[in-house]
Amino acid sequence: MKEKIKKICQSIEKEKSIKILFAVENGSRAWRISSKDSDYDVRFVFVRPLSEYVQINRPSEVINLFFDKNGKQVGAESALIDVSGFDVFKYVKMLSSSNPTTIEWLASDIIYYGEQNKIFKDFAFNHFNKISLYHHYKSMCRNNYLKYLKSGADVTYKRYLYAFRGLINAKWVAYNKDIPPINFDETLSKSISIIPEFILRKLYTIIKLKLEGREKEIVENIVKMDEYTELFLKDDLEAPNEKPHSTLNELNAELRKIVFNYK
């Protein structure tokens, strides 16, 4: 599949007249909690020729495409390979505010095409904003919990897993003052001191069910997990308060280098 995704990236470059800097997996496969029927979440960063940026109507900053198992472009509903890319300007803007999505693209160890940028990676891991990252992850938890679990709209094991990934990653930032591991199992195994044991046990059970392909089963609300989430969402006492001292000079310099050296 890696070779197929590489060819997809090459075809996107040709069709869209762009250069893909790097393409990685960032979904359940990267988090090591995929089931046998999980799709591929391919995420990439691209740059356009300089002339494309110097015009009144600039092209879209986002590219979304879907492909089947044979690499043929299809609609979203029948896709196995979900491909989404950000223009480098959009990507660096989000990275500068420590958006977790952009950081995870640099943390992913499943690389399909190109090479993760070293300057971006250094900024992500050594100069990230703990306050922003904590609240970004907390927002992920809140959105999944309120929209799907508390509302009863889509109470599944998968939704619990996604809500608690946001919760635990936020707590990881607060207590460890570091980027959470991309491997969620690793995060759980090192969170014994910050997450109640009954929550961890339940999450391991849910992961096992997901690996068996049962993550989309409609279930009853898990009361203890809901109560713990409610307490977490109401309390910001553990939120980090250290402001970063880094500047954006290196990111700006690297951005100029990428755009001016486009070939």
pLDDT for 149 = 95
pLDDT for 12 = 97
Question: Cβ contacts of residue 212 below 8 Å, gap of 6+?
Answer: 35
Run means of pLDDT, 10 residues per run, the chain, 263 residues: 95 97 95 86 97 91 95 91 98 95 96 97 93 95 96 91 96 95 94 94 91 81 95 92 83 95 82
Burial class (CB in 10 A: 0-12, 13-18, 19+), 91: buried
Cα dist from 202 to 28, 69, 217, 220, whole Å? 18, 33, 16, 14
Question: Cβ contacts of residue 96 below 8 Å, gap of 6+?
Answer: 123, 248, 251
pLDDT for 243 = 77
Q: 245, 9, 258: which is closest to 128 by C-alpha?
A: 245
Task: Report the top-level CATH class of 2-128+246-260.
Answer: alpha beta
Domains of the chain, residue spans: 2-128+246-260, 130-234
pLDDT for 11 = 97
